[in-house]
Amino acid sequence: MESPTGTPEGTAFPPDLERLGIAPGAKIDIRDLNTLGKRHNFQVFLYFEEDLARDSTLRKDLQEYEDVPDLERPFIRLEAFLQFAAESDPLFTRRLDELPLVVEIVAYGEITMREGNSVPYVKGVMPFLDELTMEETPEIS
């Protein structure tokens, strides 16, 4: 898969990010990922469909869904997701203490913005509700 800059998406993560624990398959608390993105200047895109996250590129997805409102796409910028969730549920942040959302990192790339500057990004897959409830449910033998 090619990113807009010609760098294959997801095949290699910069050593700086890998030292932070951001690498393919890593699972990171959504709040920590947001903090790392702000601190180290990279965008985070959350995907709600695992196949789309793994089989497509951000560039292609942004083009395909350009006419779809941000909140109706199968992916969203992490900051926008957290803002929407907090506005929709004032207890959202507290709920994350009780049931953390852990995002699986699937890809890294760079995208050229309208202003012409290149911005690094990370793609992550949101946990699915059935995975969350299975983790809480003890196995029956």
Q: What is the pLDDT of residues 80-128, one digit of tens each?
A: 999 999 999 999 989 999 988 999 999 999 988 777 888 899 999 988 6
Q: Check pLDDT > 60 for residue 5.
A: no
State how far the Cα of 13 lies from the Cα of 110, in Å rounded to an integer: 11
Q: What is the pLDDT of residues 17-32, one digit of tens each?
A: 999 999 999 999 999 9
- For residue 103, list its beta bridge partners: 28
Average pLDDT, the chain: 84
Average pLDDT over residues 58-71: 93
In the three-class reduction of DSSP (H, G, I as helix; E, B as strand; rest coil), residue 76 is classed as strand
pTM of the full predicted structure? 0.82
Cβ-based neighbour number of residue 97 at 10 Å: 8
132 contact partners, CB below 8 Å, separation of at least 6: 99
Residue 9 DSSP class = T
> Which pLDDT score is estimated for 7?
52
Q: Check pLDDT > 80 for residue 9.
A: no
